[in-house]
Amino acid sequence: MTLADVDRTWAAAPKPWAVWAAYAVPLCVLPSALWRLSLVFTDSAVTTWYMIFLSVLSMGLALLTLGLVQRWGQRVPGWLPVLGGRRIPARAVVLVALIGGSLLVAIYAYFLLNHRFHFVQRTWVGVGEDEPVHPPPGWEVLRYYAPMLAWGPLVIAVAVDYGRRAALARSPAR
């Protein structure tokens, strides 16, 4: 298989709505990441690293969604020593994206349902042994997390489009 054949296998462009959805994912995660980073300057050293790690991790995962609509999401970068230039298996990508999106939907559904029906007693869980007890967060904090409710459904939608394009690339009718 030549390089021209590889490019031809992904000739199906993503749908415009999928591109918009993929770019919306990092924008949904950005308010909470910035809010957590703003806490770095006010909290103790124990929570500082946690907040930085959580913000970087969530933004990194959100930015990976862009790989579902960009060409760089189809091949391992060439600068990687052993795997560079190899095709990324589309089924694995779709499976991971669907599991991740479904987990996000399940987590948010649990928190919303727990907030309404009180399955588990709602208390503040801090990081570290000496963390003081805080009151449950109100709208002043939750407004930064509200856009994240769209994260899971957006990832699922973009993954389905990615899977559709991969199936078109594999189909012999081309």
pLDDT tens digits, the chain, 174 residues: what are they?
Answer: 344 444 445 657 899 999 999 999 999 999 999 998 888 877 665 678 888 999 999 999 999 999 999 988 888 888 878 888 888 889 999 999 999 999 999 999 988 888 778 777 666 555 666 666 656 667 777 899 899 999 999 999 999 999 999 888 777 665
pLDDT of residue 124: 58
Q: Is the pTM of this model over 0.75?
A: yes
Of 136, 51, 150, nearest to 101 by C-alpha is 150
Please report, for residues 2, 41, 72, 87, 159, the alpha-carbon distance to residue 7 in angstroms, rounded to integers and kept in the order given: 9, 47, 12, 11, 20
Say how many domains are in the chain.
Answer: 1
Note down the domain range covering 91.
3-170
Contact criterion met (CB below 8 Å) for 135 and 81: no
What's the CA gap between 67 and 64, in Å, rounded?
5
What is the reported pLDDT for 111? 84
Amino acid 79: pLDDT: 81
Q: Residue type at 98?
A: L
- Cα–Cα dist 168/10, whole Å: 8
**11-29 burial string, b = 16+ CB within 10 Å, else e?**
eeebeeebbebbebbbebb
The pLDDT of residue 1 is: 36
Taking the C-alpha atoms of residue 174 and residue 169, their distance in angstroms, rounded to an integer, is 8
- pLDDT for 5 equals 45
- Report the pLDDT value the prediction gives residue 15, as an integer from 0 to 100: 93
pLDDT of 134: 59
